[in-house]
Amino acid sequence: MRDHLPVILFLLPFATAICLPMVGLKAHRWCRPLALVSLLVMFGLAIVNLLLVREHGEQSYGLAGWLPGSDPTLGIEWVNDHLASAMLVAISFLASLCLLYSGSLTPTIGKHRVVPYYTLILLLISALTGIVFAGDIFNVFVFLEVAALSAYALVALAGGRALIAAFRYLILGTLGSTFYLLGVVFFYATTGTLNMAEMYQQFIASPELLHSRAIVGGMTFLFLGLGIKMALFPLHAWLPGAYTRAPDAISPLLAGLMTKVALYGCVRILFWGLAAGKLLEPVPALTLLGGLGMLAALAGSLLALAQQELKRMFAYGGISHIGLILIGVSQTNQTAFAGSMFYLMNDAIMQAGLFFIAGAAILHHGVRTVTDLPRLRQSPWLVAAFIALALSMIGIPPTGGFFGKWHIILGALEAENYLAITAIVVSTLLTMAYFQRLFLRIFGHSEVVPDSAEGSLALPVKLAVGLTAMLVVVLGLCSGPLIGFFRLTASAAGL
């Protein structure tokens, strides 16, 4: 079974997605249980996969048993290593939690949309799984497109103004896909292969290739496309509207996974394809992404501070954290790389948790803007979880957010990049400023609020909110071994 675990993990949500429309013809009420069971089984197998990779090492899986061999242009390879296996655990866990959470919010979507809703979610998760495992840059493109098409439709399910946000997402996403595919063409024309491992060997053997016009052009197009997909400032225009207007049951899934997996794909191509960790001279794309990361960290926090709508504020906060992760990746040392990958996992949980709270606050208390926040005092459960997640977003111990930022800063010190340290510190202060603004509205308002309405929260909502809040603390307390684990991924990346 271990030999075929990668494809099993992919096929579980994919096969269920194919079956759901047929099941929905008879009884749409079975769609949610089937989808949830599929994702929970996937989560269990993802944990098993992580333990097996930890024990036996990296696995190369050739689809249909056909690995790229003597002719590197043929065969499709999936790579099941430490980073991929950890990412799969995060994806399957958050997907399961989002589906559990969405049960009480599904009626807001409409009964006639239940079947496409769960089908699209499963297609999205299977596509994200494909991105994580893909060992060649063309298959990253294929799965990015499947994930993007699913996301466009999920955003549009809310109807009304969400249709405009989905259309904007579609236009910019298509532009990003076009740029990415142009980059793939340049790389293939120069190297004669699409496989990342084969490219890696070519760049190690001939480092001067990285400075050829074709490769520089290919990198420009490829990372411009990925920059749009991960909402890297200033290519982020689609994200605030999409996350704000999407159904409240969908926003946590998109915020927790979409941009993070696109960022993962960027890291995979940089270090496992372009050999950015092995070459003595910095890869031009890595230097550029580091500079854009600093800009994103500052601009995202500033824009979040200026917002009145909660979901839009959290969306801009996510843009800022994409920048922080790129700052860590661009330092090209083990400390910063391990810290950024650890922070990526934390940010996925933090973003999902904040949008869980935003959705519950809208549904139960009508809290959409900063002005409405005093009503949140009716739910101590939501307020307590919000405090824990806010502390992690700011980076206060003992949360995971603190230890992720700390190791990124240590890595920047190691690289003597004091501009990056300044950007991280200023971004952290701005994040503290907008969360302070929120807490002043919650606790500083003088009006008398009714007795606790906590009991009105559905159990799945309490569970989703509580688990994400607890996890950011647990990740902080377990940061030592987890950072050690991500150091192994840094070693595999050549750092």
Spatial contact of 408 and 479, defined as CB atoms under 8 Å apart: no
Separation of alpha carbons 130 and 128, rounded Å: 5
Residue 72 has what pLDDT?
47
Residue 16 lies in a domain: no
Query: What is the span of the domain harbouring residue 320?
Result: 282-495
Residue 91 has what pLDDT?
93
Residue 325 lies in a domain: yes
Write the pLDDT tens digit of every residue in 328-374: 998 888 899 999 999 999 999 999 999 999 888 888 888 888 888 88
Number of domains in the chain: 1
Residue 277 has what pLDDT?
75
Residue 427 has what pLDDT?
92
Separation of alpha carbons 26 and 32, rounded Å: 14
Token duo for residue 270: 């940089």
Question: Three-state SS for 59?
Answer: strand
Residue 439 lies in a domain: yes
Using CA atoms, how far residue 289 sits from 36, 187, 401, 490, in Å, is: 37, 19, 21, 18
Q: How do the pLDDT tens digits run along the chain, 495 residues long?
A: 667 888 889 999 999 988 888 877 777 778 888 889 999 999 999 999 999 988 888 888 777 556 655 454 566 888 888 999 999 999 999 999 988 887 766 545 556 677 888 889 999 999 999 999 988 888 999 999 999 999 999 888 877 888 888 899 999 999 999 999 999 999 988 888 888 888 888 888 888 888 888 888 888 899 899 999 998 988 888 888 888 888 888 888 888 888 899 999 999 998 988 888 776 566 677 888 888 999 999 999 999 998 888 889 999 999 999 999 999 998 888 899 999 999 999 999 999 999 999 888 888 888 888 888 888 888 888 889 999 999 999 989 899 989 999 999 999 998 888 999 999 999 999 999 989 888 888 887 655 455 444 446 778 888 889 999 999 999 999 888 999 899 888 888 777
Three state DSSP letters for 65-134: HCCCCCCCCCCCEEEECHHHHHHHHHHHHHHHHHHHHHHHCHHHCCHHHHHHHHHHHHHHHHHHHHHHHE
Phi/psi for 78 (5° steps) reads -110, 140
Task: Bin 366: left if φ > 0, else alpha if -120 < ψ < 50, else beta.
Answer: left
**DSSP secondary-structure letter at 211?**
G
Residue 383 lies in a domain: yes
Residue 447 lies in a domain: yes
Residue 331 lies in a domain: yes
Residue 36 lies in a domain: no
Write the pLDDT tens digit of every residue in 94-127: 999 988 887 766 545 556 677 888 889 999 999 9
Residue 474 has what pLDDT?
93
Residue 238 lies in a domain: no
Residue 444 has what pLDDT?
75
